[in-house]
């Protein structure tokens, strides 16, 4: 019965490539040529921020210069895509263009790359958006990714684990330190959700990681509230030379 409904739905709304709109066979994904065009991150990466690194993985932990100079408050961080070309266009569409249907396949790619760091007792939590921005955009793209990630992996998620109590000014032109300071005053753990994170590993989810200032503020808020280890998973990573 269910499969018949499914088939009927597919006849009305045949699955299309997220990149170009061509018909595809799978319900989540890209056609072959868009797949090849999408900058998925593979190979050696910095264990802390997920940025691609030259050379081979040798079994020891590898970190990039930035993460070695300023250690991250989380254990491991991964991104599915490089924030460039087609990936950048898809993320902008998810963020501003009202294309929430991109979140499901995106969450599948994220689940794949972060599989090794996930475990049963982990709690998934999105980076919060201030409510005024939420009104403007209608949805928080990070919360949407977290929700799909949760249904894909079976791990619990808490959409409002953290809140943005203050609206932060534009962060452009500010140093990483200044950004982190501004953000850590704005991001707090929701007092009514605090019990969910105590002594638990948290998987922080966001759409894009640039300097990591927002994720740092979130990780610090979770740690201060009593979380165990923090892990970071983003859809895309802005690489220095990208
Ligand atoms: Zn395509
Ligand atoms: Zn790094």
Ligand nearest to the CA of 30: 1
> Digits of tens for pLDDT over the chain (242 positions)?
555 555 554 555 667 888 888 888 765 688 888 888 899 999 999 999 999 999 888 889 999 999 999 999 999 999 999 999 989 988 988 888 678 888 988 999 999 999 999 999 999 999 998 777 776 777 789 999 999 999 999 999 999 999 988 777 777 788 878 888 888 888 999 999 999 999 999 999 999 999 899 999 999 999 999 999 999 999 999 987 64
* Ligand 1 center from residue 12 Cα (angstroms): 20
Q: Is 115 helix (H, G, I), strand (E, B) or coil?
A: helix
Question: Cα separation of 76 and 11, whole Å?
Answer: 42
Question: Cα separation of 220 and 217, whole Å?
Answer: 5
Nearest in space to 138 (alpha carbons), one of 104, 95, 105, 170: 95
The reported pLDDT for the residue numbered 3 is: 56
Please return the burial class of 94, using the count of CB atoms within 10 Å of its CB with bins 0-12, 13-18 and 19+: buried
Question: Cα separation of 202 and 121, whole Å?
Answer: 9
The reported pLDDT for the residue numbered 88 is: 92
**β pairing state of 187-189 and 162-164:** antiparallel
* Ligand 2 center from residue 158 Cα (angstroms): 27
The reported pLDDT for the residue numbered 130 is: 74
**Diameter over CA atoms, the chain:** 58
The answer to whether the CB of 53 falls within 8 A of the CB of 46 is yes
The reported pLDDT for the residue numbered 31 is: 87
Ligand nearest to the CA of 67: 2
* Ligand 1 center from residue 28 Cα (angstroms): 12
- Residue 133 C-alpha from the chain's centroid: 18
pTM for the whole structure? 0.89
The answer to whether the CB of 95 falls within 8 A of the CB of 141 is yes
Q: How many CB atoms lie within 10 A of CB 77?
A: 27
């Amino acid at each position: 019965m269910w499969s018949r409904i499914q088939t009927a739905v597919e006849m009305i709304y045949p699955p299309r490539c997220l990149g170009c709109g061509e018909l595809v066979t799978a319900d989540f994904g890209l056609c072959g040529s868009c797949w090849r065009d999408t900058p998925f991150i593979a190979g050696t990466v910095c264990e802390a921020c997920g940025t691609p690194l030259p050379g081979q993985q040798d079994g020891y932990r590898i970190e990039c210069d930035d993460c070695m100079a300023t250690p991250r408050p989380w254990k491991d961080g991964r991104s599915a895509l490089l924030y460039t070309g087609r990936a950048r266009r898809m993320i902008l569409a998810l963020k501003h263009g009202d294309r929430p249907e991109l979140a499901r396949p995106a969450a599948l790619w994220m689940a794949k790359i972060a599989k090794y760091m996930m475990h049963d007792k982990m709690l998934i939590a999105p980076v919060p958006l201030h409510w005024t921005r939420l009104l403007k955009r209608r949805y928080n793209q990070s919360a949407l990714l977290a929700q799909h990630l949760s249904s894909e992996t079976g791990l619990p998620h808490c959409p409002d684990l953290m809140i943005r109590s203050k609206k932060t000014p534009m962060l452009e032109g500010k140093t990483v330190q200044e950004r982190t300071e501004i953000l850590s005053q704005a991001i707090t753990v929701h007092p009514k959700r605090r019990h969910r994170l105590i002594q638990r590993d948290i998987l922080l989810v966001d759409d894009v990681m640039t300097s990591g200032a927002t994720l740092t503020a979130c990780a610090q808020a979770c740690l201060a509230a009593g979380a165990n280890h923090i892990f970071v998973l983003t859809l895309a990573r802005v690489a220095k030379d990208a």
